[in-house]
Amino acid sequence: MLDLIKETETAEEIGIIGHIRPDGDCVGSCLSLYCYLSNVYRDTEKKITVFLEQPSGIYSYLKGYSEIDSMYGYRKLDVCFSLDASTPDRLGDGLALFKNADRTICVDHHVSNQGFADLNLIEPEASSTAELLFTLYKEEYIDADVAQGVFTGIVHDSGVFQYSCMGRRSFEIVGKLCDYDFDRTRIIDETFYEKSYAQNQMLGRTLLESILFMDGKCIAGSVSRKVMDFYQVEPKDLDGIVNQLRVTKGVEVAIFLYELHSLEYKVSMRSNGIVDVARIAAIFGGGGHVRAAGCTMNGTVYDVLNNISKHIEEQLKEHGQI
């Protein structure tokens, strides 16, 4: 088992890096570890820094949020953690810091992660990276700040505890987190469910213009850069759309695309159990989990959907669904 204290006790500069376009598990995990190590080394001169693309303001309640370095100011790190990133390129501008660190540690739960650090803890069965981190924490250094980071990560990557990734250990950890004084209901409401008016407009438009295909087994929706600019929204404002598509009755796979640049799309896929979308994402250089995965693809919306749908069809045929 990875010993966080042993791995960091001689380090003076410790870096914590998450993936590009950080989500709730990424932000919660990074700031939870930041708070935990800050508690461990409270009376020392160690410097602990979280490097992330600027996360959504909905996570500003987490301790350490205002200390995040989104400029990726270069420094030589003695130990560098990669959290919730399935491949090195997912670290974005943090990759140079990671590569030049004296020792690297990867903690992740993506099935596509092959291990790219000096020390790797990868458990695809875990609900979240936050869950994995909690198993490494010593109780004496856990406080409400550490706990709410873990809680945030589990909430977001489990769809508020509803996905199959929530196992017995996951629920036991959530139970332990209830011993700490923080507002769990508010975190769920304000970071998972609550949407701005513009976000609801984007959701409504995407649902209205979505298409069903493959005998109703698949649904797809897309948003162009032009539409995003019109509604003044960014990629982080599109969270949750693919999950809403997924709960359409009769659908096995939901696909959501948004335009990054001309003829370049970020693709998110969700499965209701039969299709392994991580397997499909890997074909196009992406990754993720069996039921939730993504990649970046080039071409028109129709090019992307045609390329993905043939692999969905293959898996549906394997299971006798079409």
Domain count, the chain: 2
Q: What is the pLDDT of residue 13?
A: 98
Q: What is the pLDDT of residue 243?
A: 94
**Do 255 and 154 belong to one domain?**
no
**Do 153 and 285 belong to one domain?**
no
**Do 211 and 181 belong to one domain?**
no
Q: What is the pLDDT of residue 74?
A: 85
E-assigned strand segments in 123-245:
211-213, 218-223
CATH number, domain containing residue 87: 3.90.1640.10
259-275 pLDDT per residue, tens: 999 999 999 999 999 99
Decide: 276 and 290 in contact? Cβ < 8 Å: yes
- Look at residues 86, 93, 108, 88 and name the one whose alpha carbon lies nearest to residue 282: 86
Q: Which of 156, 171, 193 finishes a domain?
A: 193
Q: What is the pLDDT of residue 172?
A: 98
**Do 77 and 212 belong to one domain?**
no
**Do 132 and 225 belong to one domain?**
no
Domain enclosing residue 77, as ranges: 4-193
**Do 187 and 226 belong to one domain?**
no
Decide: 125 and 119 in contact? Cβ < 8 Å: no
Q: Which of 141, 169, 193 finishes a domain?
A: 193
Q: What is the pLDDT of residue 73?
A: 87
CA–CA distance, 269 with 262 (Å, rounded to integer):
21
**Do 174 and 288 belong to one domain?**
no
Q: What is the pLDDT of residue 1?
A: 81
272: left (phi over 0), alpha (psi -120 to 50) or beta: alpha
34-52 pLDDT per residue, tens: 999 999 999 999 999 999 9
Amino acid at site 223: V
Ranges under pLDDT 50 in the chain = none
E-assigned strand segments in 90-210:
103-108, 119-122
**Do 21 and 114 belong to one domain?**
yes
136-194 pLDDT per residue, tens: 999 999 999 999 999 999 999 999 999 889 999 999 999 999 999 999 999 999 999 99
pTM over 0.85: yes
